[in-house]
Every structure is written in structure tokens, then in C-alpha cells.
Chains A and B, each alone.
Chain A
């Protein structure tokens, strides 16, 4: 019904003083009703520009935007019935919390009583009952952003857009806000489009993710699929696979200057140049008596809750691995590690000519 469809969208900025020319080019993007969708990419990849085009705040050069059967490409943002949460709360400073939340309804000429009731309901949903008559400057940053979320959803938008909504908040509060958005998404079944550079945020909040780079969407899929089977070395690196090795595949065997590894035969691996992705959790440290495939010297140890992040120098290159150290031994820099590799989960990205 209210499926968002974006097709063939392009937007180019000409080179101006201090800014290089920049463009986004989008094939197709479809977001289902009730879905939570994230566009993930580094800063400067064009994700905010894309979001503003969808919101209607920027006119695209080409392309069409549909909501269901309605072509909204040239509809001004105030008539799109979308909600938006920006990076900053942007609460109107001269209005109280309840006036801020009721603003959208007031613009639709909803009566005062009705407005108040609706605003109080969403304020309760974001955990801010009783804050009605406070002014924004009397709230903490996290509370302000909660009000901003409440204000964006109070008029039941067809699509809720969020532009890096929590990146200005303290890390602790960020986690709380993510949980809040998850709860709200479940409770109100709002279609959500989130733009972020934070992998954790995207993985936690989104049903599906699109990875954006240099103005183009490289891959779209559910989080596990994007993580396990990246289709581009940038995607692999960006979502945290630290071992992306360029080389060549020939008859099921991967060769690079540093490594020779036999790939699993269950998938058909195309021959030719490409990248091998070894996720850091696929390595396991074993004793020298067991079967091992790689040997290296430990050069860096970082302890994370419950596991270690290790860097192992295997002579020709450095590998990144996660290890939980089952025997409770604390790994020491300088020691020699023997590694086994779960090669059934290796992933090969053939280069596109």
C-alpha cells in the first residue's frame, strides 16, 4: 500500500568554492510498508542528500519517487506526510514540549484538545510523561531527541526519516535511544528509513540495510546477508570484515602474494581476480599439536568484553581475528599462535570487469 519506491534518482552538485563536484546515482530502492530500512555509509557518501531528496527538501535532477501508486516526486515536503528526525533535536525554543509535539497537528488544524491528547500519548511512548510544560532548554540532549522523535511520529507519518538521529548524543544514551526506536517501530508499525554511518546502529535497528559509497548503493539486503556475503570489497571492509585480501581464484583455489587457501567446493566459485573475505571470527587459535593452517606472531591484543581482538603477523601480512580464549589464558604480545580456519564460511568476491 504505502511502499516507497525510488527509481533512477540522480543529484549532482557542481563544483563550488571549497567543494568538489559530487553526485548520487541510484538505481532502484524499495522499502516495504512497516519495514525498518537503513542506508549505511561513511560520511560524504551522499546518504543525507539521498534522504533529503526522498523528504522533498532537495529536488532530484532525475528520477521518480513513489509512495504506493502516488508519484510524489514534485510534491513539496509539507504535503508528503512524512516525519523526520534530524541529527539535532531542532525543538522550537519558544514552545513547550507539548506545543512542540503538537506542532504538526496544529499545522493540520487539528483542535487543541485532540492535539493535546495525541501529544500526551506519544510523549508517554517515549517515556516523557509529565514533561508537557517544560521548555526545550530545560531538557537534557537525550530528552530533547526523544521529544523530536515524539513530534515526528505524532501525526502518523507515511514514512519516518531519520538522519543520523543519535550521533550527537553520548554513547550510553545512544543505546537507550536505539532501544526506544525499536520499541516505537514495533508499537506503531511505522515505515522507517534511517541514514547512518554507524554499523551497530544500522544492524540493531534495520530489517534491511543498503550500503552506500560514493553516491551509489553497492548492496542491499538483510544484515546477516550483507555481513556474510558482501558483494564488494568496500562493503566487506566497511561493515567490519578486517581481512579482505586481493588476489586471484583458480579452480577453487585462492592465491594472492601472501596466501594460498583452498576454497569450499559447495559454492561454485568463479575463476578470475577478486577479493577473499575472511571474517575475523573464522580463525581459531589451536595448539601446535592440532591441525593448523597458519602460523604467526601476535603483535597486538585488545580485550573486549568476553573476547580478544588480536592482530597476528603471519610474515607476509597481518591478520585480524577475534578469539575468546577458551582456556582462560591471557594472550601475550610476541607469542607464536597456530591458527585454524573455518574455510566453509570463506567468501570470495569476484572482480567486476
Chain B
């Protein structure tokens, strides 16, 4: 009894702590976005201001273009990741072959090795191919850091899909594409959604790769945000951060809606 009460107490305290940790920065962010300046050591602004937002909706800010570029690059990256990761994850999680461990290490390397390292090589190659300063080039470069997450999520899905389901499908006359569509796809769909969410978020938050490959010509939200955050204007940076957070939330929500539509149709 006592133990249960203690556990409950700890539960309450931990939940409260977590809420503070998560909400405090957001509060200061929101406050920062709606004020002019907040001289130290004040915790609350003297007066409110919409200056940051006025700047953002002004035509000089490029924010509309940046949102569109960010989202379209993230979406394209995700689609390509799905197409690449499905066969890769299937092979890695359900088949055994020589050199499998090395291929896995290679595929996960972008998570561990700093993006800067691979981008230098990619940059030189893209310069030769004429892909720098283009959205297409940026999109290709975003695949490296985001693909491992998609592969990982799909490998878990494939790991729980035994071959017997496809064998049953074959005995019922289903050809390869029919088996994929009616048996494999419904099973790995949750993995695709999780991987897509991660892939979108990773792509949306790329700064360095976008900056180097895009050469300042491809404007995404992080590209706009960075100069303000690194000393220019913390209020505008705060406003951009909110836009960015909204974008990420909208992307995840959109995936959720798509998934629900799929399940309702069934």
C-alpha cells in the first residue's frame, strides 16, 4: 500500500518535472517572439511587440518560399527513402548473406559520423555534376542522414514478418506484386509511417548540408533561422523557431491523417 502511494508520489513529481523541462523553453520562446527586447535580468518583457512577425510576413523575409522548399524537399526525401529502404530493410532483416554486417555498418554510418565529413565529399562530386545550388542536389544530400532511420524502422517491421505469410499468398495464387501490395505492405505500414516521420524531421532540420550544397540559393527554414539565432536578432529567431516547430508538427499530423484515411478505407 505504502509502496504504491510512494510510487504514485514519484510519478506526480516526475511528470511535473518533465512538464517544466519541456514547457519552460517553449514559454520563453513564445514570449521572445512577441517582444522587442528583454534586458537582463528581467524575466518578463516590459511591453509586447509584433515586430518579429511583421518582419516575417513582409516580402523581404522569403518565409513562404522557405516553408515550401523545406516541405517539398522533406517530402521528396521521404518518398525516395521509402523506395530505397523497403528492399534494403527486407534483405537485412530477413535474409542472411555474406558481408551483411559490413553493409549494415555502412548504412548506419551517417548517424554516427558527423554530416560534415560526408558532405565535403558529396560537395566535390556535386560540383562536378553541377548539382550544387539546386533543390534537387540538396534533396539528394538529405538522403544520407535520413535513410538510416527509415531503414531501422522498416527492419523492425520486416523482422516480425515471417515468410509463411507470403508462402500462403503464393498458394492462393498471388504474384509478386500482389503479395507485396496485399500482404507485405499492410504489415510494414506502421514502420513506413514511423520511418517517414523521422525522415521528414531529419530533413527539415538539416542546416549544414543545405547550406553547403545549396550554396545559399536553396532557402529552407533552418537557413533563414540560423543568422538570426547566431546573434542577429533573437526575437526573429524565436519567431522562426515557432514556425519551424509548427512545420514539423504539421508534417507529423499530415502523416497521421494519411494513415487514418488508409485504415478507414479498409
Count A interface residues, CB 8 Å. 24
Please, how many angstroms separate the alpha-carbon atoms of A108 and B175 in the complex? 10
Question: Size range of the interface on B?
Answer: 10 to 19
Please, how many angstroms separate the alpha-carbon atoms of A7 and B47 in the complex? 93
The yes or no answer to B231 lying at the interface (CB within 8 A) is: no
Q: A94-B186, A103-B182 are in contact. Are A84 and B174 (CB under 8 A)?
A: no
Q: Could you tell me if B171 and A82 are in contact, using CB atoms closer than 8 angstroms?
A: yes
Q: Could you tell me if B172 and A151 are in contact, using CB atoms closer than 8 angstroms?
A: yes
The segment from B48-56, B161-169, B253-261 that touches chain A is B161-169
The yes or no answer to A253 lying at the interface (CB within 8 A) is: no
Please, how many angstroms separate the alpha-carbon atoms of A57 and B172 in the complex? 12
The segment from A85-93, A229-237, A259-267 that touches chain B is A85-93
The yes or no answer to B173 lying at the interface (CB within 8 A) is: yes
Q: Contact flags (1/0) for A144-156 with B, using CB distance below 8 Å?
A: 0000000110010
Contacts of A104 in B (CB 8 A): 172-173
Please, how many angstroms separate the alpha-carbon atoms of A55 and B171 in the complex? 8
The yes or no answer to B178 lying at the interface (CB within 8 A) is: yes
Q: Could you tell me if A107 and B175 are in contact, using CB atoms closer than 8 angstroms?
A: yes
Question: Which among B165, B171, B183, B186 is the interface contact of A84 at CB below 8 angstroms?
Answer: B171
Please, how many angstroms separate the alpha-carbon atoms of A84 and B168 in the complex? 7
The yes or no answer to A83 lying at the interface (CB within 8 A) is: yes
Contacts of A108 in B (CB 8 A): 173
Q: Could you tell me if B173 and A81 are in contact, using CB atoms closer than 8 angstroms?
A: yes
Q: Could you tell me if A90 and B186 are in contact, using CB atoms closer than 8 angstroms?
A: no
Residue from B165, B172, B182 with most neighbouring chain A CB atoms (10 Å): B172
- Separation in Å of the A341 CB from the closest CB of chain B? 49
Q: Could you tell me if A86 and B173 are in contact, using CB atoms closer than 8 angstroms?
A: no
The yes or no answer to B170 lying at the interface (CB within 8 A) is: yes
Closest to A157 in B: B171
Q: A103-B182, A107-B175, A107-B178 are in contact. Are A90 and B170 (CB under 8 A)?
A: no
- Separation in Å of the B147 CB from the closest CB of chain A? 27
A residues at B contact (CB < 8 Å): 55-57, 76-79, 81-84, 86, 88, 90, 92, 94, 103-104, 107-108, 151-152, 155, 161
